[in-house]
């Protein structure tokens, strides 16, 4: 039988002129982590820990959690892994740990807002898994809205010996305040799925508003720029882990805006690696400037494509 086609390694990707861009996978379990390992990506940029607990009605024990986190870490030894703490209260996740029946769950007690002692249990389990696998884990909190929340999260993480504590930027207020938030944590990762939903006030699950719910919306791109500029000023990593990173053209724009890592479904990685490898960093910047100057999502797309075609 013919050997399977050799898979192109996406790790260590650089633009054509040598500017490094970390390429990471979004995963929910060890099988996803194995896909990241198979394409030799730089690591995992978003481990959605709640997915593993979706079918449970109660929080699993610290031991069960530690085993699960350990199984994911074991798939990608020596690579960066960012574990996101529980994002409960939304569409796909565990039953909410707070009062049921909120009229507007996307704006309710979800993510970090739902923090109870469950967060401490989870960080303890992550610390145990990291010790077993002998790695230094990165952790990040979802749905952070204020610098005080970022500070609170980092303080709790430090209690468990976790030295790299970051937050997701997926609430517009957090993007606007990125500078102050970055002062309170070690890195940020922009969740464009929710950031787009909240910026455009357009439900990410609702087809009728899909045109608004588009990460090419210049309003979203301007927020990304704000965050990237703050990251550069602080000398701290700024990733994107929403599916916007999986669009090869938009991935180049994000790099041009100053984003340092891109995390996406593993299957999207090869095409994004190729697009970045074919562009110069200056080209990416020209694409970003063109997209930022547009007044609609479609115009931003067209402007970026045009900038790519005409850049020298």
Interacting residue ranges for ligand PEP, rule: CB under 6 A: 46, 48, 87, 170, 191-194, 241-242
Place of tokens 């633009």: 15
Choice between 42 and 243, CB closer to ligand PEP? 243
Cα–Cα distance for residue pair 267/263, rounded to 1 Å: 11
CB nearest ligand PEP: which residue?
191
Choice between 216 and 283, CB closer to ligand PEP? 216
Selection from ligand PEP, Mg ion, none that 15 binds (CB < 5 to 8 A by kind) is none
From first CA to last CA, the distance across the chain in angstroms is 45
Q: Is residue 194 a contact residue for Mg ion (CB under 5 A)? A: yes
CB of 274 to ligand PEP, least distance (A): 23
Size, binding site for Mg ion by CB under 5 A: 3
Cα–Cα distance for residue pair 29/170, rounded to 1 Å: 22
From residue 145 to residue 174, the character string flagging contacts with Mg ion as x (rule: CB under 5 A) and all else as - is -------------------------x----
Cα–Cα distance for residue pair 198/220, rounded to 1 Å: 10
DSSP character string of 95-131: PPSS-S--S-GGGSS-GGGG-SHHHHHHHHHHHHHHH
Q: Is residue 89 a contact residue for Mg ion (CB under 5 A)? A: no
Cα–Cα distance for residue pair 308/50, rounded to 1 Å: 39
CB of 52 to ligand PEP, least distance (A): 13
**3-class SS at 47?**
strand
Choice between 10 and 241, CB closer to ligand PEP? 241
- The correct pick among 32, 45, 172, 191 for binding Mg ion (CB under 5 A) is 191
Choice between 47 and 69, CB closer to ligand PEP? 47
**3-class SS at 164?**
strand
Cα–Cα distance for residue pair 167/189, rounded to 1 Å: 6
Residue 87's contacts (CB-CB under 8 Å, 6 or more residues apart) are 48, 50, 93, 110, 111, 142, 143
Choice between 147 and 242, CB closer to ligand PEP? 242
Radius of gyration (Cα) for the chain, nearest Å?
19
Instruction: Considering only the stretches 130-138, 185-193, 227-235, 300-308, report the one whose residues sit in contact with Mg ion under the rule CB under 5 A.
Output: 185-193
Four-point Cα dihedral 267, 269, 272, 274, nearest 10 = -110
Selection from Mg ion, ligand PEP, none that 186 binds (CB < 5 to 8 A by kind) is none
Choice between 193 and 296, CB closer to ligand PEP? 193
Contact set with Mg ion (CB under 5 A): 170, 191, 194
């Amino acid at each position: 039988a013919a050997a399977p086609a050799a898979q192109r390694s996406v790790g260590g990707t650089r633009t054509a002129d040598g500017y490094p861009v970390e390429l990471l996978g979004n995963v929910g379990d060890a099988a996803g982590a194995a896909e990241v390992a198979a394409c030799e990506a730089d690591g995992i940029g978003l481990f959605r820990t709640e997915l593993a607990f979706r079918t449970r009605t109660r929080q699993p024990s610290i031991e069960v959690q530690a085993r699960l986190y350990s199984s994911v870490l074991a798939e990608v030894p020596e690579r960066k892994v960012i574990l996101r703490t529980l994002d409960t209260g939304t569409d796909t996740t565990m039953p909410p740990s707070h009062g049921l029946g909120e009229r507007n769950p996307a704006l309710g007690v979800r993510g970090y807002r739902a923090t109870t002692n469950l967060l401490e249990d989870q960080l303890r389990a992550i610390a145990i898994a990291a010790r077993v696998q002998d790695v230094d884990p990165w952790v990040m909190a979802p749905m952070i809205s204020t610098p005080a929340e970022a500070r609170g999260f980092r303080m709790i993480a430090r209690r468990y010996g976790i030295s790299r504590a970051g937050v997701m930027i997926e609430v517009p207020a957090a993007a606007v305040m990125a500078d102050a938030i970055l002062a309170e944590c070690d890195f940020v990762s922009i969740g464009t799925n929710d950031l787009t939903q909240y910026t455009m006030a357009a439900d990410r699950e609702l087809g009728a508003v899909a045109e608004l719910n588009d990460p090419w919306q210049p309003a979203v791109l301007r927020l990304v720029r704000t965050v990237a500029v703050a990251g550069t000023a602080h000398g701290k990593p700024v990733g994107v882990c929403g599916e916007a990173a999986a669009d090869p053209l938009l991935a180049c724009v994000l790099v041009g805006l100053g984003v340092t890592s891109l995390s996406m479904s593993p299957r999207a990685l090869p095409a994004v690696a190729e697009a970045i490898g074919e562009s110069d960093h200056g080209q990416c910047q020209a694409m970003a400037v063109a997209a930022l100057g547009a007044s609609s999502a479609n115009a931003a797309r067209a402007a970026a494509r045009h900038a790519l075609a005409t850049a020298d």
